[in-house]
Amino acid sequence: MPGKPTRRLETFPNPHPARDYRIHMEIPEFTCLCPRTGQPDFATLVLDYVPDRRCVELKSLKFYIWSYRNEGAFHEAVTNRMLHDLVRATRPRFMRLTARFYVRGGIFTTVTAEHAKPGWKPRASADLATLPDGSGARG
């Protein structure tokens, strides 16, 4: 049975809750309607997050994104609303949603919204250019 658009975001337990790791998603088919003209707006959404106890289930995310297709929304409002809903569903350590809207009237618009769990600090990433023995990367 084909799926239907819905605002219900499903989650599943984080398989590695003790570790900070980034989940990166690119969603190139986001559409909503301009609230002034009713014309379609198209965007690529980039979602990056560090999960805490829950991760977003991809099929439900697809149906959630689809639910905006016929809704009028300003770019700033829809980006922040989606971030709010995703944070509420997953309660991540960190989440960033970037919406890169395609050109409209000669203007590209990019909206980025972020959330960080109070007290959470990102850990430093490993520098792979130098190995622990100081010899540099091997290739």
Catalytic (active site) residue 34 = yes
Catalytic residue among 20, 32, 41, 55: 41
Catalytic residue among 34, 48, 52, 85: 34
Three-state SS for 41?
strand
Distances (CA, A) of 127 to 122, 130, 132, 134, 136: 15, 6, 10, 11, 10
Handedness of CA 119, 123, 124, 125 (dihedral sign): negative
CA angle 40, 69, 95 (to 5 degrees): 105
- Order the strands of the 107-116 sheet from edge to edge: 23-33, 40-50, 94-104, 107-116
Q: Please list the active-site residues.
A: 34, 41
